[in-house]
Structure 1
């Protein structure tokens, strides 16, 4: 199959270009795209339970732990005991973290606004519909029938 007509190739190549662009911007602030993404997923006022942050970001606990440690070392977040559950912590933004969150948000808006200058609303609606359909096909496991394969492997 021609890679230019392969859906997964186009998705991956586009995401890699977006990630590179965001990482280049983040580097100007001594940060990374992963840090910026985390900042955008932490509730600005109340913080976010650490157990909820991983699923929001699609990250495994080990990777998230490393990222949060780095963010804490840089002073953009702090951890507080969860008053509703003594076993978990709330990740809160520091004042510096709130500033960096706004910087990150600005870069996301700038990218989205620039794309909207070149892509019509109708094209964007189609794009979102296609990506939602792809995600549904994957989450419903109807590409390879993964559920049946896993049962056979046991």
Structure 2
């Protein structure tokens, strides 16, 4: 093994490529996520939503009222992250939270009329993201399917 710099060994052969930053799928995914975040920030500005708030609203527009637990599962967020998001959305008048009449421990989140009305303005967001990504719709669908499979595989590897 040769030394590269004062204290860092430099692997030889195929293993050397494994440690190049540009070969790291996690880095590529993180960079793409950050780039998407920037485009979403611009696209969501007129709606007054952050990207995480937008995701909450997407789920509520799709499903209507949901228990916080199911909302968190759908978004892959724990209650410590989701609760402040919901509080801000409630303060903005976009969602209402109520205890479930069937189970006092469960809180149901429902879009308010203002939250439902916001949906119409949000329809332009996916189009802006699609245009900014610069890929044909079919390629983006394939990418989403691959990422869904990778996520499932990574989740299974943690069990």
Change (3 A) 1:81 1:132: closer
1:14 aligns with 2:14: no
Instruction: Provide runs of 4+ in structure 1 moved above 6 Å.
Output: none
Aligned length: 141
Measured after TM superposition, the shift of residue 53 of structure 1 is 0.9
Match of 1:118 among 135, 138, 141: 135
TM-score by length of 2: 0.74
Structure 2: gaps of 5 or more residues:
1-18
Matches of 1:31 and 1:45, distance apart in 2: 19
Measured after TM superposition, the shift of residue 45 of structure 1 is 7.0
Q: For the Cα contact (< 8 Å) 1:43–1:92, is it kept in 2? A: no
1:54 aligns with 2:87: no
TM-score by length of 1: 0.76
Report what 2:48 is aligned to: 30
SS at 1:29 equivalent: coil
Q: For the Cα contact (< 8 Å) 1:40–1:104, is it kept in 2? A: no
Report what 2:156 is aligned to: 140
SS at 1:85 equivalent: coil
Farther-moved stretch of structure 1 (66-75 vs 44-53):
44-53
1:102 aligns with 2:123: no
Cα-to-partner distance string for 1:53-105 (whole Å, 9 max, x where unaligned) = 11111111111111111111110011233233232121111111112233334
